[in-house]
Structure 1
Amino acid sequence: MIEKVNPSHPDKIADRIAGAIVDLAYQEENNPKIAVEVLIGHGICHVIIETSAALSFEEVRKAIKRIAGDVKQDIVVVPQDEELAGNQAEGIRCGDNGIFKGLPLTDEQLKLSKIVRGLYEKYPTDGKFILEGERLIICQSHAKTDELKDLYPFAQINPLGDWTGGTDVDTGATNRKLGSDMADSVTGGGLHGKDLSKADVSINIHSFLKAQQTGETVELVCAIGDEEVDGLPYSEIVEEARDFVNQLGGFEKIAEWGLF
């Protein structure tokens, strides 16, 4: 079984804002150090940014407005801790401790991802979905149940009735929908709002991609400062993740749907 949410779900709006801010850092530096946390809901967006890059407040505000609309913005920017920054002073090394498990995607997971993406083209508003065997549950805001029944006559649709959704109904926070983003893969941290030196980004991506290539479960562990993980230089894993992120269109883009 698998749950998937679309890019207009409040948690994904938070992930997308965090990703957009990381994208801004990469416009300033090739290898910035940045971590972003976002909490949004009911007309206010709180953002905390730890960064080595000199970000433009104006560009950060524009990114939040573009993704979340006219919300009150509470932004805190602080430099990265000097001692932690020293870990990367002489080259790219693992930026955090972590445990990771990558698993091959199932046909069920791929099927739901295709359904949700197709629905989002027609209904680009808050939605969350579950597929368990033949049971499809569709919770789609701003869509009439009868319309959805025509598309998916055997689905369970909007069990509590039509609903509005969005950040005026619920709050969103970064990295709260990792099951949607990574399927059965497991991480001790979060995928979004961080630079590529962070294991939570690069080793998660490496584990996921290796699992798809081999068809087998991949289990890895790392410590902050590691120069090698999974028999590879950590810098190689970072470049693999950079290529993957760039192919998807950046950190904001990967935040929309996660890894699949």
Structure 2
Amino acid sequence: MFEKVNPSHPDKVADRIAGAIVDLAYTAEENPKIAVEVLLGHGKCQIIIETTALLAKPQIVSIVHRIAGRLDTDIVIAPQDRLLTDNQANGLRCGDNGIFKGMPLTDEQMQLSKIAHDIYELYPYDGKYIIDGDRLIICQSNAMTKDLKRLYSNAEINPLGYWTGGTNVDTGAANRKLGSDMADSVTGGGLHGKDLSKADVSVNIYAFLKAQRTDMPVELACAIGDKTVDGIPYGEIVETARRYIKRLGGFEKFAEWGLVR
């Protein structure tokens, strides 16, 4: 059983904005410290940013308008807590406390991810998809049921009929679709809107990739300030995550589909 949402779902729009702001921070500093919260809907977007990077509000507004349209945007930019910043002063250390469980993807999860991608290529609008054994549920905005039935004849499609979706119908918040992003993997935090020093980003990516490589569950825990996780230097875990994010094209691209791509 698995649920997947596409990049135009309001929660993923919030994730993408958060990711784009992190990308912006990496253009301002080589290794910025940043955490971003995004809440949007019904013409409004509220953003709180804690960071070491020098970011300008017009840059943030431009990101919101590009991804979500011309929402009325309220932005708070504050410096990151000094204790958190000082934790990284003499080399990379675990940037927060956390628990992490990476799980191998199942055939069912990969099947639904492909379905979500295929539908999104045809309908780049708000959508949610569920698979549970032989049962496939497709909720796709701005799509006629009869057209989707031609592609997925056995699916339950738009149970309430035609709908438009988007942020004028529903609210979105960053890190609210971790089930879609991670499948059976588990974390105590969120994947999006944070720099690579944060374990919520780097250790989650590391645990997920290791689970795919070994085809075994990976369970890890860390405390803020730890120099090693899973028996290896924390800096190596960060570099693994950095390469992964770079390969995808940045934090905004990562936010589109999460780890289950």
Alignment match, 2:36: 36
Task: Please tell me the residue identity of whatever aligns with 2:154.
Answer: F
Task: Please tell me the residue identity of whatever aligns with 1:170.
Answer: D
Alignment match, 1:10: 10
The alignment-based identity, stated in percent, is: 70
SS in 2 for 1:200: helix
SS in 2 for 1:195: coil
2-side partners of 1:70 and 1:63: how far apart?
Answer: 10
1:259 paired to 2:259: yes
Task: Please tell me the residue identity of whatever aligns with 1:69.
Answer: G
Alignment match, 1:69: 69
* Deviation per residue, 1:186-214 (Å, 9 max, x gap): 00000000000000000000000000000
Instruction: Report how far residue 108 of structure 1 moved.
Output: 0.4
Alignment of 1:1-260 (within 5 A): 1-260=1-260
Task: Please tell me the residue identity of whatever aligns with 1:2.
Answer: F
Instruction: Report how far residue 134 of structure 1 moved.
Output: 1.2
Structure 1 gap segments, 5+ residues each: none
1-side partners of 2:36 and 2:230: how far apart?
Answer: 27
1-side partners of 2:91 and 2:46: how far apart?
Answer: 33
Question: TM-score, normalised on structure 2?
Answer: 0.99
SS in 1 for 2:76: strand
Instruction: Report how far residue 120 of structure 1 moved.
Output: 0.3
Instruction: Report how far residue 56 of structure 1 moved.
Output: 2.5
1-side partners of 2:189 and 2:82: how far apart?
Answer: 22
* Deviation per residue, 1:168-189 (Å, 9 max, x gap): 0000000000000001000000
Show structure 1 runs of 4+ deviating over 4 A. none
Task: Please tell me the residue identity of whatever aligns with 1:7.
Answer: P
* Deviation per residue, 1:40-94 (Å, 9 max, x gap): 0000000000000001222211111000001100000000011221111111100
1-side partners of 2:238 and 2:19: how far apart?
Answer: 17
1-side partners of 2:84 and 2:110: how far apart?
Answer: 38
2-side partners of 1:61 and 1:23: how far apart?
Answer: 14
Residues paired across the two proteins, number: 260
2-side partners of 1:165 and 1:75: how far apart?
Answer: 25
Task: Please tell me the residue identity of whatever aligns with 1:87.
Answer: N
Instruction: Report how far residue 126 of structure 1 moved.
Output: 0.2
Question: TM-score, normalised on structure 1?
Answer: 0.99
Q: RMSD of the alignment, in Å?
A: 0.5
Task: Please tell me the residue identity of whatever aligns with 1:116.
Answer: A
2-side partners of 1:73 and 1:57: how far apart?
Answer: 10
* Deviation per residue, 1:72-124 (Å, 9 max, x gap): 00000000011221111111100000000000000000000000001000000
2-side partners of 1:248 and 1:84: how far apart?
Answer: 28
Structure 2 gap segments, 5+ residues each: none
SS in 1 for 2:192: coil
SS in 2 for 1:220: strand
2-side partners of 1:64 and 1:90: how far apart?
Answer: 35
1-side partners of 2:168 and 2:72: how far apart?
Answer: 13
